[in-house]
Chains A and B, each alone.
Chain A
Amino acid sequence: MSNLLDKFLSREEGSASRNFLLSAVWWSLWGMGAGLFAAMEFSNPDLVHNIPQFSMPHLRMWHVNAVAIGWLSMGYVSSIFYMVPNLCKTKLYSERLGNFTMWAWNLVMVAAMGTLLNGNTEGREYAELGAILDVLVVIALCSVTFNIVMTVAHRKVQKLYVSLWYFLGSLFWFPLVYIIGQRTFVALPGLNDAIVGWFYGHNILGMWFTTVGVGMMYYLIPRFTQAPLYSHGLSMLGFWGIALFYAPTGTHHITQSPVPEWLKAIAIISSIFLLVPVLTVLTNFFMTMKGKWQMVVTDLPLRFAATSCIFYLITCTQGPFQATRWVNWYLHFTQWVVGHAHLALLGTFSFILTSAIYYMLPRLTGREWQSQGLIRAHYWLKFLGFGLMMTSLTIAGLVQSAGWAMGIPVDQWVITLVPYWFLRSISGVMIVTGQCLFAYNIYQTLFGAASAPESPPKGKLKEVAA
């Protein structure tokens, strides 16, 4: 019995982080695959017939949830479980609780796949999961928070590195945002529902994906470059700026609907103010990288991280402008916005997570990456694939915007978009292939014959402070 317990709820150091990491990669294949499938149905709507599970809206629900809650969030928890103990020079408070969380989370994902593909949704964008699953997610999030807070409380170093601020902040407010955003047990009238919905819809990005992702950048970049962080003062400014300006921006998603003007004004103004923390954060990274850019040629994980920073710059300059009324008037409702969303989640945060995984896995398992070539292929497929996706969606968005602005009926110009949708499918093939190579590389590294650990994993886990 205790044997079984140890197998499934292991106490081994680093096991929770590793298991989360592997689950994340597993769900990424399903999530990105569903995205590709949905993309192909856009360019060829009669691809499958009469199978409700494969109908485009169902695939889309599953795609969004699988990549957001499966791939990115599980990867994030994995990174937090690895980075926080390292920054605190201590062990994770409870590996067993961590592994329990991992199982709960995977259960949510399995159930999500079963329900969403059948259309059992609450009908709220980004909050599609049903009531029971919502409760499970909240339990999982709270146990992560508890675990990390206890780890930090037992830390052996006094000073809290900026990444810890980001992680602790995110773990504090994200469960709350999630609870507010689900609206599972309340029924608000239409526009109030939308206001709360977009508070959540934006803050799952702003107070979870961004804040944890930026925390990871703060952790990884100084380690990759072997350089101290450029400025701790700037990093604190960035942190408080994000905490202050991100949360009220949600309403900029519905600036053209009849919600109160003052709320729109708050949202638009804080969206523009977001440029401040973003530019501070990036200045900090780029100054840390100063004189070290040649390292991206040889250091592949750093290359992922640097690319992520550059995409972050692009997303976060797009964002504030899209929030302004005039630009929003023109671009809203179009594929441009879909491109923007992918730039944030795929371009920025997937890249930084991938970088973190390339960094963590050898240290968690004591095995070196099986193939550098595969990493390189992964990078280029994902980078070029994403570039193609972004270009095609952006152009498609501009065509659509022109259509709406001229008042031309949709069915007159929707055909014009087919080539762009076709290109997006191709970009999807590239990205999914990249991700499959990534998964294969991980599999080979862990189970391949050639990669027996050189030293016991425990020794590697403790790393030298940067």
Chain B
Amino acid sequence: MNGYGYRLGAIGIVTTFFIIIFSTVLMPMVIFKPKTTTSANDYTVENKTGDPIRGRRIYIREGCFYCHTQFTRLQDREYGPLVKAGDFNYETPHQLGTERTGPDLTNEGNKYSAEWQKAHLIQPRALKPGSIMPSFSYLSEHDMNDLVVYLQTLGNKREVKAYVQPPDEYLPTTLTGQELLKNKHVNTSGDAEANAGRGIYTQDCAGCHGLDGRGNGPNSISLTKKPSNFTRPFFKQYSDEMWFYRISEGVVGTRMPRWNLTLSEEQRWYLVAYLKTLQKDVEETVDDLSQVNKPEQIKLPKLSNQQYEPHHGGH
């Protein structure tokens, strides 16, 4: 009978639906209760400089989570320690996010100074040329302050065991990595080695990264993707292997070349030794054209005709 079939179908729909609700909505709520970890971000703690709870509400109101995520994954080499399930117990509503137009903010706290953060929110392109982050200049002083206080709480309690990681082939966990370390004869913490690296740096890197590593070499003016500023405290977490990997393979999509094509392994290790000495406690930002290194006028010596055409192949 047709009426019967209709009723059977209706019962079928209802049962299916409730089984699914039970297994994927109710059951996780009952059996998935991770214990709050010590690294969970308790932004409700009193803070003298502002109100992070309100700041979080502004983060939501301004829709930062449409471009920024708040969970790190294994392959996110740049974004600090991996999150654990219990880290999220204070996060209601969750701000995991689904799309990353900008960087992950899980461990953003204290990565930059509060002033930097404010300036960046007002005009991102002043600090990061080519950024497409919208300007939030319309936020009131009060809003801005609380938002930045909230940003500065992010990930502060996460204990850092391992930070930025180079790909496996640079790590001692793989055969290639072990091979690499076997051939490393440079003490990357030594002063003499750093000094040796400094020579290579001045010759090969300073053109873009600047003599003192602030990303202010003469070439930096013409680059849309600005060279890194090595005075950033962020770089303190780089392991030797990470430095070595970056120097060796360059940064795809930028002018940073693959130095493994021109420098020997030994030279690159010397560079690592030098680069590790450049970090400061507070980043030295370059915010003025006058701070960009100028190429010194090269005084060419007067050369004789003979000197212009040097003899090749011996004296």
Contact = CB atoms under 8 A, between A and B. Distances in A.
B99 A333 contact: yes
A158 B69 contact: no
Given A193-B91, A248-B23, A407 B76 contact: yes
A144 B201 CA distance: 71
A384 interface: no
A55 B100 contact: no
Interface residues of A, number: 87
B200 interface: no
A139 B214 CA distance: 60
B135 A46 contact: yes
A333 B28 contact: no
A190 B100 contact: no
B62 interface: yes
Contacts of B83: 257-258
A305 interface: no
Interface stretch (A22-30, A366-374, A409-417, A438-446): A409-417
Interface stretch (B45-53, B247-255, B269-277, B289-297): B247-255
B255 to A, nearest CB: 10
Contact of B89 (A160, A189, A334, A337): A189
Contact of B88 (A191, A400, A404): A191
Give the dominant DSSP class at A's interface.
helix
B182 interface: no
A455 interface: no
Interface in A297-331: 329
B131 interface: yes
B309 to A, nearest CB: 44
Contact of A415 (B66, B124, B137, B224): B224
A190 B138 CA distance: 29
A192 B16 contact: no
Contact of A172 (B14, B87, B92): B14
10 contacts: A49-B135, A58-B62, A123-B95, A125-B66, A180-B25, A191-B32, A263-B24, A266-B23, A407-B164, A415-B130
Interface of B: 2-3, 6, 9-10, 12-14, 16-17, 20-21, 23-25, 28-29, 31-32, 34, 60-67, 69, 71, 73, 75-78, 83-85, 87-96, 98-103, 124-125, 128, 130-138, 164-165, 167, 224-225, 251-254
Given A257-B83, A411-B131, 14 more contacts: A50-B137, A119-B61, A119-B63, A169-B13, A188-B29, A190-B91, A195-B29, A240-B16, A256-B71, A260-B32, A334-B99, A334-B100, A409-B78, A415-B225
